[in-house]
Structure 1
Amino acid sequence: MAYQAFTEEWAKAYKDRINTNANYREAARTWEWPLAFVLEADPSLGIEEERAVILDLYRGECRDARVGTKEDLESVPYVISADAYTWKQVMEGQLDPLAAMMRGKLKILKGDMGVLSGYVIAAKELVNSAQQVETEFPDGLA
């Protein structure tokens, strides 16, 4: 079953995939902070306002995944944002997340890049988990 990107249903399916990923569990065993992924608004694609998914990540486990509010984004220590096209490329394996960050396509809005750099393998495993969720992106994306 395909889920519309960055919705409550998608977040729950993503949580399940993260929690069944043994490689993520190992790579993130010392990570202890919530993280937000933001899908930027794009009215031309029918995304009228930004969508955020909050992941409560703690020591290799995703304790919760849900749609986040503006208040959540203020309190979460790590926020990564991109447009729909970039997220689609990352989730379909066409764009490496680290390369996307270096090129400014994935933007770190909040968080310590030094800390994040110590979790490169965990980040790749988060992407691998996302790639296992059947995701629907808006029509009109190449």
Structure 2
Amino acid sequence: MGYAPFSEGWVRAWQGILNRSDAYRRAAQSWKWPVVLVMLRDPTAGIDEDRAVYLDLRHGVCHEARVASPEDQAQAPYVLAADPWTWKRVVDGELEPIAGVLRRKIRLVKGNPLTLAAHARAAMCLVETAREVDTAFPEQMRAPRP
């Protein structure tokens, strides 16, 4: 059985996979900022409260990964938020993260969009590693979006 998305177990599994990725390490050498990813509450998706993960990403290494606190969200220089269906599309490989930001499917709550765009390859590698996590989306999300 897989991990619930954006849970403590899920983010720790992702950290392990991320830190074993040579592709991410190479692509993210110049990235040096923590990131918080927020999955917004959506009861129709089986997500009854906001979920957020904190990633301390510096120079191709994830130094820390955990469920984000409100303080993390306030202090992180980059915060991205989306509904559960959008994050599922990202994890399933149906939506690239930068394209999601440009199409306003993923909201850049905090951070410099130009810096984010300049690190598009690192973002892709980050997402590719997330796809390797055994993720158990809620039953409601196994069918097409209502």
User: How high is the TM-score relative to the length of structure 2?
Assistant: 0.93
Contact kept in structure 1, 2:46 and 2:140, CA below 8 Å: no
**Structure 1 residue 23: Cα displacement:** 0.8
In structure 1, how many angstroms separate the alpha carbons of the residues matched to 2:87 and 2:136?
11
Specify the SS of the correspondent of 1:4: coil
**Structure 1 residue 45: Cα displacement:** 2.9
What does 1:46-65 correspond to in 2, within 5 Å? 46-65=46-65
**Structure 1 residue 116: Cα displacement:** 0.8
**Structure 1 residue 138: Cα displacement:** 1.7
- Once the two structures are superposed, what CA deviation does each residue of 1:73-120 show, in whole Å capped at 9, x if it has no partner? 000000011111111111111122222111111111000011111101
User: How high is the TM-score relative to the length of structure 1?
Assistant: 0.95
For 1:120, the equivalent position in structure 2 comes to 120
In structure 2, how many angstroms separate the alpha carbons of the residues matched to 1:33 and 1:23?
18
Q: Which amino acid aligns with 2:53?
A: V
In structure 2, how many angstroms separate the alpha carbons of the residues matched to 1:2 and 1:110?
30
How many residues align structurally? 142
- Once the two structures are superposed, what CA deviation does each residue of 1:15-72 show, in whole Å capped at 9, x if it has no partner? 0111011011011111111001100011233322111000011110001100011111
Contact kept in structure 2, 1:84 and 1:137, CA below 8 Å: no
In percent, how many aligned pairs have the same letter?
42
In structure 1, how many angstroms separate the alpha carbons of the residues matched to 2:4 and 2:20?
21
Moved over 2 A (4+): 43-46
Specify the SS of the correspondent of 2:121: helix
In the alignment, structure 1 residue 11 sits paired with structure 2 residue 11: yes
What does 1:44-83 correspond to in 2, within 5 Å? 44-83=44-83
Specify the SS of the correspondent of 2:138: coil
Contact kept in structure 1, 2:8 and 2:66, CA below 8 Å: yes
